[in-house]
Structure 1
């Protein structure tokens, strides 16, 4: 039986549905039900087509964006010196695997897209961010301040220098990244700030460090410089030794940082002709006059760091009277008048009747004086300085030079300690300050020469 129209056929019948309906029309079948309007079909088909087009356009856009991003990363890689690094590693017959190449995505995630809240240091050459890698390793990411093709070689230089340094008192380089607009360096995270912050800014979160800590930090830093000068595969001159570039960990262990200005010294050279670079107040006066960089330039800068540890003063203090602005000059003047204890930091003279401490302080002052001689050839080597400071730490005054039955034994002990200290390493720079011109500091040289040698 049909619900609507019925058409008889030979021995059977067929049911039909009215216009606009569909089905078999039978009462005992699916009957007739209203069909979808043609307009709705057209709309549905068009909508589906538009959706497909939009999805296709999105996929094409994302693919083009990915390709542009990859092309930009490739351009950054070349401009930032990625190929230069690989070539120099090859020239030195060193494996590229010795320097980990991070992706920009890894470091963006680690630093929360370089969020300002992650900044832990800023300086003349860039910003340092605290980061957390996927394996929960804390790192410090150094991001250059601006794109400067002239700094590419300096960036690669820092990577090369640190890739060959393996010393427990050097901030360890974990890798670098060339894919960003400005190059990035990734270091181990040192959690207690700079030496400068602890001896100059105790009111801003720095900790008061006693004499024993200061003497140990001085000995550790001297050990690093001795290692760089005489024990590294290729001798290295740091060229920017200062308290801002000495970090300390939670145990107040020294970690020398910022090798961007460092120079590798060819085996057959004792000096290099370079443009004067460094921080006023720490710059070797002989280097400033001759442009001849030697290992003794680091010795001079280290001498200024010793003065900071002794006095708690900055290398350059513009808020002091004229005769006290330059710490090196003021120290030498007070030493000549035998008034050193008057300018020693109060924090290390708490125990007034500690004669051993006073004796150590005077010995360190004498070492500093020798480091500050105007002529480099008159200064001791960093190995000699490291041995003297380590000798003081062991409780002796020039312990290796004592007379007596135990002299050879003591000397042997010191040399063993020094070899361990400077020869077998195991595995945020603030804005440069100074005089308005180099001439201002060079003008002090005649006076300083009269105080030194």
Structure 2
């Protein structure tokens, strides 16, 4: 309602019964689970003769906080419509925590998360990494600028980015998203996000701005460039941004930080330009960060060279 200024937002939302969800997931067959975000399972299934994702709580026990997150995600998805963002096809309201059904928007049936390409057995060449990152930037730019109030994602990470075999991207996990009022001071919220990606300024001030996403996106860019895992590093008391800044000042240090697959397929001038843009995004102060529109423009130029 806030996003639409009291007017109706989104299109028709299909109401789905719990029995339909049970049949589509083959009685919640764990073999159909394609992703496990916190406190949830995401099944790949067929419903109404179409391929869908079905998000259910990991446990069906009453949980007011989790119910609120699912409802928030549902309302956000009803207001946002972009080719690189999840959308809501339907929901089940028969359980305490609503279950959400998303249309399968990717162009091939082979789908995984970006995290698997960067930290698993799959290989992602530099040009395809650049294409994927650019699509994520499109989605965030849309969230920040398309509606009357900017929507801040607050949990940008490689595990929340779906990617198919043709390198088409869907940005998911909008449960922690919030809409903010431009120019209004002290819009403070509890800190949410994934360790290693969270803007340090947000942790200190608890003030949500578009910069929260810009910083996380900058960390994602460094993750794509280096192949290093920000969350695993954070668990060990390390910080990807700090390490990259300290080591990448010299040419040799830069090469040492960059992933070997990237070095083999990327032009050094282009890689350095990419890293400079990433470092702008992770600036200490919000006013020093570029907007996602500016980020998209520069990434677009890099894609068309």
What is the TM-score of this pair, normalised by structure 2? 0.90
Describe the SS at the equivalent of 1:361: helix
Aligned length in residues = 298
Partner of 2:68: 153
- Native 8 Å contact 1:276 1:288 kept in 2: yes
Q: CA deviation at 1:219?
A: 1.0
Greater relative CO (CA pairs within 8 A, separation 6+) = 2
Q: Report which of the two has the higher share of helix.
A: 1
User: Partner residue of 2:136?
Assistant: 221
Measured against aligned partners, the alpha-carbon deviations of 1:153-187 in whole angstroms (never above 9, x if no partner) come to: 32221111111111111122211111124321111
More divergent stretch after superposition (155-164 vs 268-277): 268-277
**Correspondences of 1:220-369 after superposition (within 5 Å):** 220-267=135-182, 269=184, 272-318=187-233, 325-338=238-251, 339-351=253-265, 357-369=267-279
Segments of 5+ residues of structure 2 without an aligned counterpart are none
CA contact under 8 A between 2:3 and 2:148: conserved in structure 1? no
Determine the C-alpha separation between the residues in 2 that align with 1:219 and 1:377: 22
User: Which has the greater radius of gyration?
Assistant: 1
Does 1:197 find its partner at 2:110? Answer: no
CA shift for structure 1 position 272? 2.0
Q: Write out per-residue CA displacement over residues 417-448 of structure 1, whole angstroms, 9 at most, x where no aligned residue.
A: xxxxxxxxxxxxxxxxxxxxxxxxxxxxxxxx
Contact 2:118 2:224 in 1 (8 A): yes
C-alpha contact 2:3 2:179 (8 A) present in aligned 1: no
**Unpaired stretches in structure 1, ≥5 consecutive residues:** 1-86, 396-453
Aligned to 1:143: 56
**Change over 3 Å in CA distance of 1:318–1:222 after alignment to 2:** closer
Q: What CA distance in whole angstroms lies between the structure 2 residues aligned with 1:96 and 1:256?
A: 18
Cα drift, residue 370 of structure 1: 0.8
CA deviation map 1:185-212 (0-9, x unaligned): 111235411011111111xxxx311111
Give me the CA root mean square deviation: 2.3
Q: 1:216 to 1:114 in 2, by over 3 A?
A: same
Hey, what's the Cα distance between the residues in 1 that align with 2:64 and 2:185? Answer: 29
Native 8 Å contact 2:85 2:172 kept in 1: yes
Shift of 1:266: 2.9
Partner in structure 2 of residue 123 of structure 1: 37
In the TM superposition, residue 106 of structure 1 has moved relative to its aligned partner by: 1.4
In the alignment, is the contact (CA less than 8 A) between 2:196 and 2:234 conserved in 1?
no
Q: Deviations over 1:28-85 (max 9, x none)?
A: xxxxxxxxxxxxxxxxxxxxxxxxxxxxxxxxxxxxxxxxxxxxxxxxxxxxxxxxxx
* Aligned partner of residue 176 in structure 1, secondary structure: strand
Q: Deviations over 1:223-264 (max 9, x none)?
A: 111111112343210000011111112311111001000001
Alignment partners' CA distance in 2, 1:238 and 1:179: 28
- Residues 160 and 213 of structure 1: CA distance in aligned 2, closer, same or farther (over 3 Å): same
- Measure the CA separation in 1 of the matches of 2:126 and 2:4: 46
1:319 shift after superposition: 10
Q: Structure 1 271/341 Cα, relative in aligned 2: closer, same or farther at 3 Å?
A: farther
20, 25, 29: which one pairs with 1:111?
25
